[in-house]
Structure 1
Amino acid sequence: MTRRPGWRACCCTRSWRSPTRRSGPSGTPPGSRKCVSSPPVGAEGDPGEGTGIHVPFAGKLRPGVFLARPNRFLCRVLLDGPPGTPMGDPVEAHLPDPGRLKELLVPGRRVRVEAAPNPNRRTPWTLRLVESPHRSDRPDREDWISLDTTLPNRLVAQGLKEGLLEEFAGWELVRAEVTRGGSRFDFLLARDVDSGEVDRRELDPRKVDPGEVVSGDAASRDELLLEVKSVTLVEEGLALFPDAVTARGRRHLEELTEIVQEGGHAAVLFVAQREDVREIRAAAAIDPAFARALEKAIQAGVRVLGRRCRVDPQGVELLGPVPAGPG
């Protein structure tokens, strides 16, 4: 069977299916059966759990050892030399995760860095991966954690565009980066209630690209604001967010709660950038105000969802859902 460019495999029909084909209410194309062959989510990452939502790294990652973190966005790394040669000189690497990461960035821990596309950049490397402190029981595999806080948004955007996230079946992506109230949220989704055609500008002419026409009556469309949170802290399979006090994250929850209380729709999706995760909870011991805001959001009707990732030096794949909730 020949794969067509841009298409994905369906495990039920044994055929290739277009990711842009409109889905039915259950998230599957009309007339087709829902895929049921994937095993349940497990902490060890079942091979069948892959979603096909994958972001590769632009270049080959170079191995190294973490040395120090002079500030939030800068690390010093000792690069590995070619086999049989001594370690190279220490280099500076940009860190795309401003979180505390104190349990991950420990001197001597193995890391992977990527060369900057611009050779004249002040930091010639970017720190992409760090080895998990919790080694797998499987000796044939390495456990890596992604340290790029923008990567979950890229994974979710890909999943939304291709209709691969069952949590949002029936919703379509309108745009990313939407301002509501005093905050900017990651994604605006919409779904049709009635049929018909409408210029998307009628939904909100300030926020949407002009000229896009979609099905649905503007007065009969629901909108949903989606905020994505990157998670790296894990304790014995329990992923915790945040790893430091976050006033911005608390404000997001409070504003999403107000939107739902006024009759709107909102969701928070926590994405753990590692595989050794059973569930995701608010880190009440670190940020009790965030934990209280999350509990109030759930009570108001904000959807709180979780996913985890499979990470290796080639890229990051979004895996299936995991439970998420208050601390």
Structure 2
Amino acid sequence: MLFTPPLTPATLIARYKRFLFDAILEDGTAITGSCPNTGSMRGLTAPGSRIWLSEHDSPTRKYRHMLEMVEADGTTVGINTGMPNRLAEEAILNGRIPELGGYSTIRREQKYGRNSRIDFLLSEPGRPDAYVEVKNVHFMREQGLAEFPDTATKRGAKHLEELGDAAEAGYRSVMLYLIQRDDCERMRICDDLDPVYALAFQRAMARGVEAYAVKCTVSPAQISVSGTVKMDEWRPAVL
């Protein structure tokens, strides 16, 4: 996916109230913008960090600038939680995720489960439908190892349970972790920050749910899925 025009560089002053940030543009202008990530963004909000912003001129928008990327650990990290589904769809259609190849129809936001919507429903005559849930990943504590989640997520555990239900009903069920950074070669479930999610993941795998992780090439000019990464074997959480 190309950014047209390319993103605008700035320096982060603070991210606050989950939805907002203050920054200084390269020309010295102080701005307030919107943050399209309501999560903890653990490790990505240090004051003084180099960031990149998209600009929007719509009169219906309160803030012109939106935070898209942060420089951390020597690499550029995408933080926009609206991006993973777009990147995943592009990658599936272009054959960049071999595990999800061979489907002629892809539908977004289909109802399923307990009053939920699945991110993608893949269909192909003669094959079971594939339910695909996408999760945004950008947390890293150990070099080269991405982790999810970076905070407790009841909603995430619910999604795993619903994917397990679909798998037991005879459908293909897939959890796709999309890492918006290119410096990770492995991914693990972060059981110390959310042991409940870790146990839900273990149960889902036992019920037939598949899990894959892909990383992205990230720059102020473009972002795209670059390949799969190995998922570490799940280890028991300490409860």
Q: Give the TM-score normalised by the residue count of structure 2.
A: 0.92
Unaligned residue ranges in structure 2 (runs of 5+): none
In the alignment, residue 118 of structure 2 is paired with which amino acid? F
What corresponds to 2:130 in structure 1?
224
Tell me how far 1:119 sits from its aligned partner.
Answer: 4.9
1:161-183 per-residue CA deviation (whole Å, 9 max, x = no partner) reads 33442112222333110111222
Percent identity over paired residues? 32
Q: 2 CA distance for matches of 1:120 and 1:226?
A: 33
What corresponds to 2:101 in structure 1?
169
Tell me how far 1:98 sits from its aligned partner.
Answer: 1.2
List 4+ stretches of structure 1 deviating above 6 A: none
Q: 175, 189, 214: which is aligned to 2:122?
A: 189
Kindly name which structure, 1 or 2, has the bigger radius of gyration based on alpha carbons. Answer: 1
Q: 2 CA distance for matches of 1:280 and 1:238?
A: 5
Q: Is the 8 A contact 1:160 1:173 kept in 2?
A: no
What corresponds to 1:59 in structure 2?
5
What corresponds to 1:78 in structure 2?
24
In the alignment, residue 88 of structure 2 is paired with which amino acid? V
Q: 213, 216, 220: which is aligned to 1:309?
A: 216
Tell me how far 1:306 sits from its aligned partner.
Answer: 0.5
Alignment of 1:179-258 (within 5 A): 179-182=111-114, 183-193=116-126, 221-235=127-141, 236-258=143-165
Tell me how far 1:148 sits from its aligned partner.
Answer: 1.0
Q: 1 CA distance for matches of 2:11 and 2:17?
A: 17
RMSD: 1.5
Unaligned residue ranges in structure 1 (runs of 5+): 1-54, 82-86, 136-142, 194-220
In the alignment, residue 66 of structure 1 is paired with which amino acid? L
Q: 46, 50, 69: which is aligned to 1:106?
A: 46
Judging changes above 3 Å, is the alpha-carbon distance between structure 1 residues 258 and 120 closer, same or farther for their aligned structure 2 residues?
closer
Aligned length: 232
Q: 2 CA distance for matches of 1:129 and 1:169?
A: 29
Tell me how far 1:120 sits from its aligned partner.
Answer: 5.4
Task: Kindly indicate whether residue 223 of structure 2 is the aligned counterpart of residue 283 of structure 1.
Answer: no
In the alignment, residue 187 of structure 2 is paired with which amino acid? I
In the alignment, residue 157 of structure 1 is paired with which amino acid? E
Tell me how far 1:191 sits from its aligned partner.
Answer: 2.3
Tell me how far 1:117 sits from its aligned partner.
Answer: 3.2
Q: 1 CA distance for matches of 2:220 and 2:94?
A: 24
Q: Give the TM-score normalised by the residue count of structure 1.
A: 0.68
In the alignment, residue 191 of structure 1 is paired with which amino acid? E
Q: 2 CA distance for matches of 1:288 and 1:173?
A: 36
